[in-house]
Structure 1
Amino acid sequence: MAIMLAFRSSAALTTAYGVSVTGALVVDTLLLLLVARQLWHWQTWKLVLAAVVFGGLELTFLAGNLSKIIHGGWVPLLIALSVVTVMTTWRRGRQLVQEQRQELEGSLDDFIEQVNTTHVPRVQGVAIFPHPNKDTTPLALRANVEHNHVMHDRVIIVSVLTASVPHVPHSKAFTRDDLGYTDDGIEHITVKFGFSDDQDLPHALHAACLNEILDLDPKDIEGASYFISRGGLRFRPDSKGMVAWRKKLFVSLAHNAADPAALFMLPPQQTVTMGSDVEI
């Protein structure tokens, strides 16, 4: 609406439209060349030929539209710059948060060794901890042991992966990993979903029990407790990694990020969020 009110007519918008379309064509060609190189393994001469034939023609059109930048062509460039800024800020912020979380989480092997040597008291039930990998300890699991000084009889750490296929059958969806002990009740499994599948974690774990990936009764999964490792983000202006305004932007974006409990379709009455704050 703002663009319509600013330009007032479709004729005036043609300057912005020309830069937008020709710029998009150039970007599409660059992405095609990357795919051809990385996935299709094209030879160098094919890449050069495609770049000259397609890219050369599109760059000619783009160059012809550069004179229109001051007459409205700056609008799509400003929009593109804004989108790229948001995307790169989110990606860099996630990297910084992941680095901070890895320091707080610590090694899962060391944590399991500590649990087995100190004999942490156990309570009845099944606790499920969604976590991206099997190398570090879920913050919620560590917080539960350090502050509540107890663990459930069965602890299942679940990593979710999205495959590059629409659907993954249950027969190929589960991988069980060895954590070093067979009698401590702590185990890790990886669940694969297709990119068109609903990431319904309770349903997937129920299927894992039916397929004997997990040595549990499916009814135990129905009554399990889910622990989400999600601490708050705190802005710290003197920390390194990003300039202050990008940190503020990332924190505001993170506040609107998807809730893992909703993403994995966890039952709200059986889900607890625990963790430690992360400074950025």
Structure 2
Amino acid sequence: MSDTATISGAVPAESSVQHHGHGDQGLLKLAIGAVGIVFGDIGTSPIYAFRETFTGHHELTPDRLHIFGVLSLVFWSMMLMVTLKYVMVIMRADNKGEGGSLALLALINRSTPGKRWTAPIVLLGVFATALFYGDSMITPAMSVLSAVEGLTVVEARFEPLVVPLAIGILVFLFFIQSRGTAAVGRMFGPVMVLYFATIAVLGTMHIVRDPSIVAALNPWHAIHFFLTDHVRAFLALGSVVLAVTGAEALYADMGHFGRKPIGGSWLVFVLPALMLNYLGQGAMVLSLSPAEAAETIKNPFFLLAPEAFRLPLVILATLATIIASQAVISGAFSVTQQAIQLGFIPRLRITHTSASTVGQIYIPVINWTLMTMVILLVLTFQSSSNLAAAYGIAVTGAMTIDSCLIAVVLFSLWKWNRIAAVALLAVFFTVDLAYFASNLTKVPDGGWFPLLVGLFAFTLLTTWAKGRKLMIDRLREAAMPISIFIESAATSATRVPGTAVFMTSTPDGVPHALLHNLKHNKVLHERVVLLTVKIADVPYVEQDMRCQLEPLGHGFHRLVVKYGFMQEPDVPTALKQITGCGPEFKMMDTSFFLARQTLLASSRPGMAIWREKLFAWMLRNAESAMEFFKLPTNRVVELGSQVEI
């Protein structure tokens, strides 16, 4: 069988990690890098979040009650959802240094095998991943559109150019993905540092004119908003949450920078810069007459700057949104790679765009799918205000699922005091569910889009995972015990010089490719290796833990090669490290045999017929095992077989 990537918890947790060694790069350098990559999404929120709370689908009057209430909600949302939940709690739940929903899911699977609630938790983790794809389509469209719309503040006649210019920027962004972003990436940190410094200065200029706006940080103003205008306050949560979109990136990107640089950047630099800007927007609007305030609230971010500086601010904001979009696109590639390794997505072509940076990858099918959907979003919704209705549901849904996953960590992995854990989780779920419920009111206006994308992606992910399990079970049912095969074949078949490597999904039984080869060619090689590649529930497997070799007698060997879910399988390189089973492996003397299954949908119990047909289509379109495992193209033999599931 050619599809050999399987989840395994067999690698010892203590010794199977290959640490990145964040400490050798310097905390300041990592912190600046984190500002460039991690905070792009949440950093560009001031462009539209405050505006949308007042001018969105549920308008608010820009008076003192509502402005103070909204600013208080923004601040305490950042403190509870970002600082407390992600920086102080969730980022401690790393899987050997890696973060993200799939990494956390793998950690839970490895640490709590066989628990009754494991299956529902897996489904929740997979659904969080599915929602991420919806978010990764909306974020570039929303952020770039909102920045380019700043041109209308500079000159109203630019309005017809907004959509074409936004599409041009986005197309350019997706087209450069295949060339790699290493060179451009080095500019991310300095540009974002300049951006955050600029928005902090602009906000401070207006706070100085009305220092009383700082009182909005008092949580009483959020409470007073709810007590005075409770319906509008609840509906406003659907837009306030735009201020914390991107919070999950802190956890997902932890493996690149480490917990301390990300947490330090947030507390010392990013959070103060964001709040100074939000407070500045509030102070500016409050300083105006009601008629002027009603006009200014339509785009307060760009109006913070003096007229001469508005065009440079538009350019800087556009650069920042491009960086935010780049981070989301790179995140989609990274999440897809993890999902492939963990068995939720079929093999896809993955290209490395940097010789020095392991995480810089490019997946063509994901890139062009995202580009198509992003352009359709821009053409359909036409403005960032319209898109804001679609933005938020995927984020709040994923955040709620993260709370469910961290609940398992608190009780089962960390063994927290139950009272303390329940109290903390009560805060998390109250906030998450309030924001999620408020965002559900936006479903008719565009919120259906991320839910539809999430449902579609969830169907694909679960169909592939279930179909692979059924197919492996069917192949195992028909497999002959290896000991009986060796005793029979070793004495009757003609042996020829060289090495034959038979790829198999399970480390027991006889591979179908081996049976077909013997049946058709009636020969066996002098050395026969039954090779299984396993993907462990840890990000990295050390070199000395990579291979497990078991001699089976008569020139037969069972070899299991293990990789972490952040590593890329390379079978020829692994074989070069093998000793103890005869002469050194030479590719020109080695033949690789793969079984290519043709799936036959049947009425056997397992999956619905339509899902079996969907799985068969996914299997046909999966990347070949030859390229995925980096096998030499002129040394591979594929043998077909039919399987009913």
Give the TM-score band, short-chain normalised. 0.7 to 0.9
| Equivalent-residue separation in structure 1 for 2:512 and 2:582 (angstroms) | 25
| Equivalent-residue separation in structure 1 for 2:640 and 2:424 (angstroms) | 51
Per the TM alignment, residue 199 of structure 1 is displaced from its structure 2 partner at its CA by 2.1
Cross-structure match for 1:95: 469
Cross-structure match for 1:84: 458
Task: Return the match for 1:54 from 428, 431, 434.
Answer: 428
TM-score, with normalisation over the residues of structure 2? 0.39
- Judging changes above 3 Å, is the alpha-carbon distance between structure 1 residues 43 and 158 closer, same or farther for their aligned structure 2 residues? farther
Do residues 243 (structure 1) and 616 (structure 2) align?
no
- Of Structure 1 and Structure 2, the greater strand share is in 1
Per the TM alignment, residue 41 of structure 1 is displaced from its structure 2 partner at its CA by 4.3
SS in 2 for 1:16: coil
Per the TM alignment, residue 133 of structure 1 is displaced from its structure 2 partner at its CA by 3.0
Per the TM alignment, residue 8 of structure 1 is displaced from its structure 2 partner at its CA by 2.7
Do residues 274 (structure 1) and 639 (structure 2) align?
yes
Say whether the 8 Å CA contact 2:471–2:643 is kept in structure 1. yes
| Equivalent-residue separation in structure 2 for 1:138 and 1:58 (angstroms) | 49
| Equivalent-residue separation in structure 2 for 1:251 and 1:264 (angstroms) | 21
TM-score, with normalisation over the residues of structure 1? 0.86
* Cα distance per residue 1:191-230 (max 9 Å; x no partner): 233445442212211221xxx33221344x5411111122
- Of residues 267-276 and 36-45 in structure 1, the stretch that sits farther from structure 2 once superposed is 36-45
SS in 2 for 1:151: strand
Task: Return the match for 1:204 from 571, 574, 584.
Answer: 574
Do residues 127 (structure 1) and 494 (structure 2) align?
no
Do residues 262 (structure 1) and 635 (structure 2) align?
no
Do residues 72 (structure 1) and 446 (structure 2) align?
yes
| Equivalent-residue separation in structure 1 for 2:566 and 2:399 (angstroms) | 28
- Judging changes above 3 Å, is the alpha-carbon distance between structure 1 residues 217 and 70 closer, same or farther for their aligned structure 2 residues? closer
* Cα distance per residue 1:130-188 (max 9 Å; x no partner): 2233312111101112232221111011222234243522x332222243xx3x11111
- Judging changes above 3 Å, is the alpha-carbon distance between structure 1 residues 251 and 35 closer, same or farther for their aligned structure 2 residues? farther
Per the TM alignment, residue 5 of structure 1 is displaced from its structure 2 partner at its CA by 2.9
- Of residues 248-257 and 155-164 in structure 1, the stretch that sits farther from structure 2 once superposed is 155-164
- Judging changes above 3 Å, is the alpha-carbon distance between structure 1 residues 135 and 43 closer, same or farther for their aligned structure 2 residues? farther
- Of residues 246-255 and 27-36 in structure 1, the stretch that sits farther from structure 2 once superposed is 27-36
Say whether the 8 Å CA contact 1:128–1:155 is kept in structure 2. yes
* Cα distance per residue 1:24-61 (max 9 Å; x no partner): 22122223223444544445444423321111111111
Task: Return the match for 2:487 from 101, 109, 113.
Answer: 113
- Judging changes above 3 Å, is the alpha-carbon distance between structure 1 residues 101 and 45 closer, same or farther for their aligned structure 2 residues? farther
Say whether the 8 Å CA contact 1:139–1:275 is kept in structure 2. no
| Equivalent-residue separation in structure 2 for 1:257 and 1:46 (angstroms) | 47
Per the TM alignment, residue 66 of structure 1 is displaced from its structure 2 partner at its CA by 2.1
- Judging changes above 3 Å, is the alpha-carbon distance between structure 1 residues 159 and 46 closer, same or farther for their aligned structure 2 residues? farther
Cross-structure match for 2:228: none
- Of Structure 1 and Structure 2, the greater helix share is in 2
Q: Which runs of 5+ in 1 are unaligned?
A: none
Cross-structure match for 2:509: 136
| Equivalent-residue separation in structure 1 for 2:442 and 2:431 (angstroms) | 18
Per the TM alignment, residue 119 of structure 1 is displaced from its structure 2 partner at its CA by 2.2
Task: Return the match for 1:215 from 551, 559, 582.
Answer: 582
Larger gyration radius, structure 1 or structure 2: 2
- Judging changes above 3 Å, is the alpha-carbon distance between structure 1 residues 47 and 200 closer, same or farther for their aligned structure 2 residues? same
Cross-structure match for 1:161: 534
Give the aligned residue type for 1:20: A
Say whether the 8 Å CA contact 2:472–2:505 is kept in structure 1. no
Q: Could you say which structure has the greater relative contact order, defined with CA pairs below 8 angstroms and 6 or more residues apart?
A: 2
Say whether the 8 Å CA contact 1:108–1:134 is kept in structure 2. no
- Judging changes above 3 Å, is the alpha-carbon distance between structure 1 residues 224 and 52 closer, same or farther for their aligned structure 2 residues? same
- Judging changes above 3 Å, is the alpha-carbon distance between structure 1 residues 160 and 43 closer, same or farther for their aligned structure 2 residues? farther
Do residues 234 (structure 1) and 600 (structure 2) align?
yes
Q: Percent identity?
A: 36
SS in 1 for 2:513: helix
| Equivalent-residue separation in structure 2 for 1:162 and 1:19 (angstroms) | 32
Say whether the 8 Å CA contact 2:501–2:529 is kept in structure 1. yes
| Equivalent-residue separation in structure 1 for 2:440 and 2:546 (angstroms) | 50
- Judging changes above 3 Å, is the alpha-carbon distance between structure 1 residues 151 and 251 closer, same or farther for their aligned structure 2 residues? same
What number of residue pairs does the alignment pair up? 270
| Equivalent-residue separation in structure 2 for 1:32 and 1:266 (angstroms) | 40
* Cα distance per residue 1:115-142 (max 9 Å; x no partner): 24x5222122111112233312111101
- Of residues 28-37 and 226-235 in structure 1, the stretch that sits farther from structure 2 once superposed is 28-37
- Judging changes above 3 Å, is the alpha-carbon distance between structure 1 residues 122 and 46 closer, same or farther for their aligned structure 2 residues? farther
Do residues 224 (structure 1) and 594 (structure 2) align?
no
Say whether the 8 Å CA contact 2:541–2:562 is kept in structure 1. no
